[in-house]
Structure 1
Amino acid sequence: MSNSDTSVKPSNLLEWLSVLETRHSKEIDMGLDRVSHVKNKLDIQYGCPVIMVAGTNGKGSTCAMLEAILMQAGYRVGLYSKPHFLDFNERARINGIPVNDEIFVQVFDQVEAARGDISLTYFEFTTLAICKLLADAPLDVVILEVGLGGRLDAVNVIDADVSIVTSVDIDHVDYLGDTREKIGFEKAGIFRTGKVAICSDPQPPQSLIDHAESIGADLRLFGRDFNYNGDKQQWNFGGREQRRNSLAYPSLRGANQLLNASAVLAALEALRHELPVGAQEVRTGLVMVDLPGRFQVLPGRPTVVLDVAHNPHAAATLAQNLDNMGFHAYTYAVFGSMLDKDIAGVIAQMKDKIDHWCVCDLPLPRAATSEQLLHSLQSAGVLEDKEHSLQKFSNPEDAYTFAMSKAGENDRIVVFGSFLTVAGVMRARRNAQS
């Protein structure tokens, strides 16, 4: 199908996704001109508050907490998050339920008709489709997760009422720059004049602060405009005009979740007149929130941990969380990564936590091969002896099956390095249960 051929339309979601994966010349093609033009033709407008979330790590957790709390408060909530693990439908949820295939096909047809001769990447096309279906749904609030960076990300064609940047660290250097200052500027691109702009990174780059001030955004910084404190039982949030005390810890595990939760409560403070939320609804939402693949500890023995950590910042958090878990005799890793990631930096954070490495290929051309990962581990000084091993596998499923066959009931298996690594293991577990 050529870029301008609309005569033969795919008839189902799988056909549509297959077409979109191969249609555009580049997988990532930064810039908003093409997307903005199609957005205007689609007349995407929101009649409710929009919250946009960007950041190197913590985006998914922040979006999930917002969704859970607002649903507990009785609001009709639309969420766009990415990437998906097993089914594309996971990317768009209305009141916690993934949008069905038929609605996706209808809105894909609308984007196809609107784009004319304009070529769109898979991400741009699907982003426009999801933004359109959420705009047309009867919703009280919409939550949009940025894909890459912020300023030039397709999601940024939408003007948010509240924007959150969760964290700023080194990732996607080919597109965003190689310093926190450059990356901070890119992420600050989601801020809007006169609108609330929240940053929960304890050390925000000066570039982010400067950009927010230069455009006249209402910047709210962690430690200056909002904060938290707590003990082992509960925690408290303090914002500019709102305090919330005796809060339950989020059900999401991990060292940074109170930072993410604080950003969520700062956003709800900013929207307290449009979307009032009570104390009990916050408590229940934090307890009820669920997010696959973010330090997700599965039931049973051996212990299995799924974590999408794919950069040094996230790997450091994962390592800290593993230290807090208690004793395990041996730890096995199922590890696969994209080649453009800081693989050496990830390994540096994790190498002292792992006894047996099961490295794997991933089903994308830009993924690192298991051979490359093996070489990176050896270069980092990871040795093979009676207590340590290195194994290569052609996919995450085989690596996980091997680890399960070797691990004792007092051992643990940590699956990390990429969404695709975690998705492969999720798929293997689903197939084993079906």
Structure 2
Amino acid sequence: MGLERVGELLARLGHPQRDYPVFHVAGTNGKGSTVATLDALLRGAGLRVGRYTSPHLVDFSERVVVDGVPMSHDAITAWLTQWEPVLVELGATFFEATTAMALSHFAAERVDVVVIEVGLGGRLDATNVVKPLAAAVTQIGFDHMEYLGETLEAIAGEKAGIYKPGAVAVVGDTSSDIRDLLRRQAEGAGARPVLVTGRDWEVADVVVDAMGTSFSLRVDGQTRRLTTPLIGHFQAHNAAVAMAMLRGAGGRWAEIEAQSAALLPGVRLAGRFHRSPPWLFDVAHNADGAATVVANLLAVGLPHPITAVVCVLRDKDWRGIIEAVARGAERIVVTLAPTSPPNRSWDLREVEVWAREQGLPVERIDDFTSALAHARSEAATVLVTGSFHTVGDAMERLQVHPLAR
């Protein structure tokens, strides 16, 4: 990990990341929702918006999108063909190459603004070559600890590395200790202004139902009632973070934020509480995320019985995920997602033995297609979760397009 290779690569490309303003988002949970919200608000205001996210669900081109349209396969092939010698010379990693390609594509497409999701961490992530108008860190949780550290404080410190001198810094974590740590990191980096949840804005009266999440947002003594189509208590906080980024950037960006009530209905996010009845897809790959999915599932009142199809990478907290899912599903089918990297696939025998010891309603079906079919045969709602691989493989087999509106 480091910025030297991607920095040199972008220099060879003519520094395309300098051609447009950037909003940059990091965090363990919530960064995808915040990026999707920013994208919708900016596009709703008539701007041409580039969006860079990772990983993809079904097709690699989902990562690089302009105004809702993925980068074409022909354009991807042409770029890689042209720049392969430089990528090889520099020893660029997959993510470094993808990041450089995305930033180059956005410049070629003459976008008005770009919204970027951090891949992993923040400080040493390849996306951290940008100099953003505003950078935000959303909720911090335990993930990628082998790279980011064993404590929430260490993880937060890595993610705070995206705060830059003179740029707006938004602190979105709702835990007081982590929030204060992020604030100090932002101030130490010379960011300005530094906007903090609970201090510079307040979210209250959150109501979650099948149509979305409504909430009250109090800023500067004034309260607005807003609704996002994204479902879940924390979606109110994620929307508020996106709005704070625009508000902090000032000028035309703040003018867009003032239109949020009219623009928020345009928010879409693939693979997060993504409903295609009887299927429910969510890429939750840590225990906090899984607990949120279950809370949302119960709040919306989806029909029972509910069966969950679960596949988790073995270096994740699969025990915590299964325990969380068991609080909302009558049955759990554990399986193997075909695109899961072989060196990270979980041991289903170990999962089966552990679940039996815990008295959890877990059934093992190794074949992924058979697992989906079996779950569907006995459930009114089927939750597919555990990783991007699990959700993406299921969407592909069930012909559910991630970017379809």
The alignment's TM-score, normalised by the length of structure 1, stands at: 0.84
- Specify every segment of 5 or more residues in structure 1 that has no aligned partner in the other structure, as ranges: 1-29
Partner of 1:211: 185
In the TM superposition, what are the counterparts of 1:171-320 in structure 2 within 5 Å? 171-203=143-175, 205=178, 206-218=180-192, 219-230=194-205, 232=207, 234-239=214-219, 245-247=224-226, 249-278=227-256, 281-299=259-277, 303-320=278-295
Q: How far is the alpha carbon of 1:244 from its aligned partner?
A: 6.5
- Does the 8 Å contact 2:286/2:316 carry over to 1? yes
Deviations 1:244-281 (A, max 9, x none): 6232x111111210000000110110223143545784
Q: How far is the alpha carbon of 1:334 from its aligned partner?
A: 0.3
More deviation, 190-199/95-104: 95-104
Say yes or no: does 1:414 pair with 2:383. Answer: yes
Q: How far is the alpha carbon of 1:327 from its aligned partner?
A: 6.3
Amino acid at match of 2:276: L
- Does the 8 Å contact 1:108/1:126 carry over to 2? no
Higher Cα Rg, which structure: 1
- Does the 8 Å contact 1:371/1:392 carry over to 2? no
The alignment's TM-score, normalised by the length of structure 2, stands at: 0.90
Partner of 1:5: none
- Specify every segment of 5 or more residues in structure 2 that has no aligned partner in the other structure, as ranges: 208-212
Cα distance in 1 for partners of 2:97, 2:307 equals: 39
Counterpart among 1, 5, 10 of residue 39 in structure 1 = 10
In the TM superposition, what are the counterparts of 1:140-159 in structure 2 within 5 Å? 140-159=112-131
Specify the SS of the correspondent of 1:39: helix
More deviation, 150-159/349-358: 349-358
Amino acid at match of 2:225: S
Cα distance in 1 for partners of 2:282, 2:206 equals: 26
Q: How far is the alpha carbon of 1:351 from its aligned partner?
A: 2.1
In the TM superposition, what are the counterparts of 1:3-402 in structure 2 within 5 Å? 30-44=1-15, 45-115=17-87, 117-203=89-175, 205=178, 206-218=180-192, 219-230=194-205, 232=207, 234-239=214-219, 245-247=224-226, 249-278=227-256, 281-299=259-277, 303-326=278-301, 328-362=303-337, 363=339, 364-365=341-342, 366-379=344-357, 381-383=358-360, 388-395=361-368, 397-402=369-374
More deviation, 272-281/118-127: 272-281
Q: How far is the alpha carbon of 1:68 from its aligned partner?
A: 0.8
Q: How far is the alpha carbon of 1:214 from its aligned partner?
A: 1.6
Specify the SS of the correspondent of 2:90: coil
Q: How far is the alpha carbon of 1:197 from its aligned partner?
A: 0.9
Specify the SS of the correspondent of 1:316: helix
Cα distance in 2 for partners of 1:264, 1:245 equals: 15
More deviation, 188-197/37-46: 37-46
Sequence identity (%): 35
Cα distance in 1 for partners of 2:328, 2:90 equals: 49
- Does the 8 Å contact 1:151/1:190 carry over to 2? yes
- Does the 8 Å contact 2:243/2:257 carry over to 1? no
Deviations 1:284-323 (A, max 9, x none): 3311211111111223xxx321111110111121121122
More deviation, 360-369/76-85: 360-369
Partner of 2:210: none
Q: How far is the alpha carbon of 1:186 from its aligned partner?
A: 0.4
More deviation, 306-315/101-110: 101-110
Shift in CA distance, 419/260, structure 1 to aligned 2, threshold 3 Å: same
Specify the SS of the correspondent of 1:256: helix
Amino acid at match of 1:393: D
Cα distance in 1 for partners of 2:77, 2:327 equals: 47
Amino acid at match of 2:157: F
- Does the 8 Å contact 1:331/1:355 carry over to 2? yes
Shift in CA distance, 231/79, structure 1 to aligned 2, threshold 3 Å: closer
Amino acid at match of 1:264: A
Cα distance in 2 for partners of 1:211, 1:331 equals: 43
Amino acid at match of 1:237: L
- Does the 8 Å contact 1:181/1:208 carry over to 2? no
Q: How far is the alpha carbon of 1:400 from its aligned partner?
A: 1.1
Amino acid at match of 1:421: T
More deviation, 314-323/141-150: 314-323
Q: How far is the alpha carbon of 1:243 from its aligned partner?
A: 5.2
- Does the 8 Å contact 2:246/2:257 carry over to 1? no
- Does the 8 Å contact 1:335/1:359 carry over to 2? yes
Shift in CA distance, 297/271, structure 1 to aligned 2, threshold 3 Å: same
Specify the SS of the correspondent of 1:324: helix
Count of paired positions:
389
Shift in CA distance, 349/431, structure 1 to aligned 2, threshold 3 Å: closer
Specify the SS of the correspondent of 2:314: coil
Specify the SS of the correspondent of 2:187: helix
Partner of 1:23: none
Q: How far is the alpha carbon of 1:48 from its aligned partner?
A: 2.7
Deviations 1:103-160 (A, max 9, x none): 2223223432434521122111111111111133211110011111111111112221
